[in-house]
Amino acid sequence: MPSRLRLLLLAALLGLIGPGARAADAPLSVVASFSILGDLVQQVGGDRVQVSLLVGPDSDAHAVQPTPSMARRVAGAAVLFSNGLGFEGWMDRFLRAAAFRGTHVVVSAGLTPRAAASDHGHGHGHAHDVDPHAWQDVRHAIHFVARIADGLCAADAAHCAGHRARAEAATQRLQALHARIAAAWAAVPPDRRVVITTHEAFGYYGAAYGVRFLSAQGISSAAEPTPRAVAALVRQVKASGSRALFLERAGDPRLIERIARETGAVIGGTLYADALSAAGGPAASYETMMDHNTQALLRAVEAR
């Protein structure tokens, strides 16, 4: 065996068994509070981070009851990334109870938040006067990426150049995504860019891309809509000129069909607001989520 190869084998073996060498090269253990943020952290950290999520895909991070397994996930983590703006209403309480000794990075810090919708219908822990869904404007996701790179560099200076390079690449992808969404909406006449939804999570999206999101009157997650509520919604749709209804929380599908029949509006599919879909689903990454939502909204407003 050539001596060079023997040396390589020896080095590989030492790398595997030497505890010092292994720890120095192990990826940084980090935590993201929810799946959308976890995807952005993964994009910036690449193979230098091991990302765990406090709240996984298809799960509502607003209304979480912190569990012992969530506390275990943060216990050994170097950095915890959260959205802030009251999105994780449970976070302060959770961190007091968990043995987290790393750095907590709030990625929305430095953004100017929007005011919350007047009757935010989906169970934030407590009343907040700002809208937490900042990531629905892609430019804010770019801001998140910069905060993530800062947080990873502070915790992992040895690999900072890699974090910065991946952040730059992610920023370029997100800039292209933002331009793509803006261009798609620019092609729709402004008076058709009206969407009625039960899920008040699209204020930032609407402001960024020139779409009016109206809250579905009378329909809440709390109860089955009454005939009076249905009549109110039918009147609202007709008066607004909206052709796009996204009524995820309205319950009875026969009712939704009736509203569509009486108004001529199109019932859109699922919008992903607060969580990614599971892997293999239509919104498994931040970028595919934004593209999926945009396509679903465009199909509904452009239908004739």
Choose among 233, 237, 261: nearest CA to 249.
233
Residue with tokens 């939502």: 293
- Does 131 participate in binding Zn ion (rule CB under 5 A)? no
Q: How far is the CB of 87 from Zn ion (least distance, A)?
A: 7
Task: Say how far apart CA 135 and CA 33 lie, in whole Å.
Answer: 14
**156: contact with Zn ion by CB under 5 A:** no
275 binds Zn ion (CB under 5 A): no
- Three-state DSSP at 122 gives coil
Helix (H) or strand (E) holding 155: helix 138-155
Q: How far is the CB of 42 from Zn ion (least distance, A)?
A: 22
Q: Which is nearer to Zn ion, 55 or 155 (by Cβ)?
A: 55
Tell me how far apart the alpha carbons of residues 131 and 120 are, in angstroms, rounded to a whole number: 9
How buried is 237 (Cβ within 10 angstroms: 0-12 exposed, 13-18 middle, 19+ buried)?
A: buried
| Residues numbered 74-113 forming contacts with Zn ion, rule: CB under 5 A | none
Contacts with Zn ion by CB under 5 A: the residue count is 2
Quick one: which of 165, 136, 150 has its CA closest to 286? Answer: 136
Q: Which is nearer to Zn ion, 78 or 201 (CB)?
A: 201
Question: Which residues, 6 or more positions from 72, have their beta carbon under 8 angstroms from its beta carbon?
Answer: none
Site string for Zn ion, 195-214 (x = CB under 5 A): ------x-------------
* Least spacing, CB of residue 203 vs Zn ion, in Å: 10
Nearest approach, Cβ of residue 186 and Zn ion (Å): 27
Stretch that binds Zn ion, among 76-84, 141-149, 194-202, 204-212 (CB under 5 A): 194-202
274 in contact with Zn ion (CB under 5 A): yes
The footprint of Zn ion (CB under 5 A) covers: 201, 274
